[in-house]
Chains A and B, each alone.
Chain A
Amino acid sequence: MFHWLEKNPFLFSVGVFLVIAFAGLVEILPNFAEASRPVVGLKPYTVLELAGKEVYKKDHCIACHSQLIRPFKAETDRYGQYSLSGEYAYDRPFLWGSKRTGPDLHRVGNYRTTDWHENHMWDPKSVVPQSIMPAYQHMFTNIADIDTAYAEALTVKTVFDTPYDTPNGVKLGTLDEAKAAALEEAKAIAADMKNQDVKDAVANGQIPEIVAIIAYLNRLK
């Protein structure tokens, strides 16, 4: 009865595949029928925020920071309201992380400000003396990739119907419009910063990575 499994490599492989695919089929597939629904009022990321998310990915912040507040009192006391599935609806990829060498960041926008982030990224020990986080001074000189961020927004709009360009929503428009809008946003952030190089760059129409990532971090609420 089982002999064919042990002797025929092809049937054996099919058997193994069925057994291992089964869990995935049952566990995961049904969730896709029921696509992740955004919580009420959730807006897609602006182009500048997406560029900031790219910096977050590029420097791999998830190596040390989570974005997932679990439903325990100790966590909600420390970080705020526990995370809801619908809050992640526009996160591609998800950035929950799996290790908290540093604190959770899912609602960091509620309790940290632009100037705090600026000081912290330049020299973490200046704001948290015992911090073991490295400084990210290269973010102050590297220029954020707005083009790619726009391409990402356009892609999720086209392929996944992410609601850009809706009434009262986030406007995307053409590449030039989006760049102009990102620069406006960047100017507002740079106004709260003290680093002269960053201010000069933004005045010249360039957006350093630090501005983009602060835009992203401020949005995490």
Chain B
Amino acid sequence: MDIRELQGYASFFMTIFLVVILYGYIIHLYRSEKKGERDYEKYGNMALDDEIDSAPIEQNPKTQREKTEGNK
């Protein structure tokens, strides 16, 4: 098998692979929202509610620890 043939196969299968992943991702997004596991649309509020003292949509555990320490 010469390099050209290898290149052809590689591009074909990688493309298929990535397309499958992409579609898998679409299904994952909608299914996990339907099942109520996660609400993706709430992340849209990150742009709207972005004051430094407004509550994060999801608290980063690392900085939360710092904060509680700071409050002592």
Contacts and interface: CB of A to CB of B under 8 A. Distances in A.
Contacts of B14: 22, 26
Place the interface of chain B in its size category.
Answer: 10 to 19
Interface in B7-60: 7, 10-11, 14, 18, 24-25, 28-29
Task: Classify the secondary structure of B's interface with A.
Answer: helix
Interface string A13-30: 000000100100011001
Contacts of A30: 3-4, 6-7
Interface residues of A, number: 9
A9 to B, nearest CB: 11
Contacts of A1: 24, 28
A33 to B, nearest CB: 5
Nearest to B28: A2
A2 B37 CA distance: 13
A34 interface: yes
Given A1-B28, A2-B25, A2-B28, A26 B7 contact: yes
B18 A22 contact: yes
A1 B24 CA distance: 10
Nearest to A25: B10
7 contacts: A2-B24, A2-B25, A2-B28, A26-B11, A26-B14, A30-B4, A30-B7
Given A2-B24, A26-B7, 18 more contacts: A1-B24, A1-B28, A2-B25, A2-B28, A2-B29, A19-B18, A22-B14, A22-B18, A26-B10, A26-B11, A26-B14, A27-B11, A30-B3, A30-B4, A30-B6, A30-B7, A33-B3, A34-B3
Interface of B: 3-4, 6-7, 10-11, 14, 18, 24-25, 28-29
Interface of A: 1-2, 19, 22, 26-27, 30, 33-34
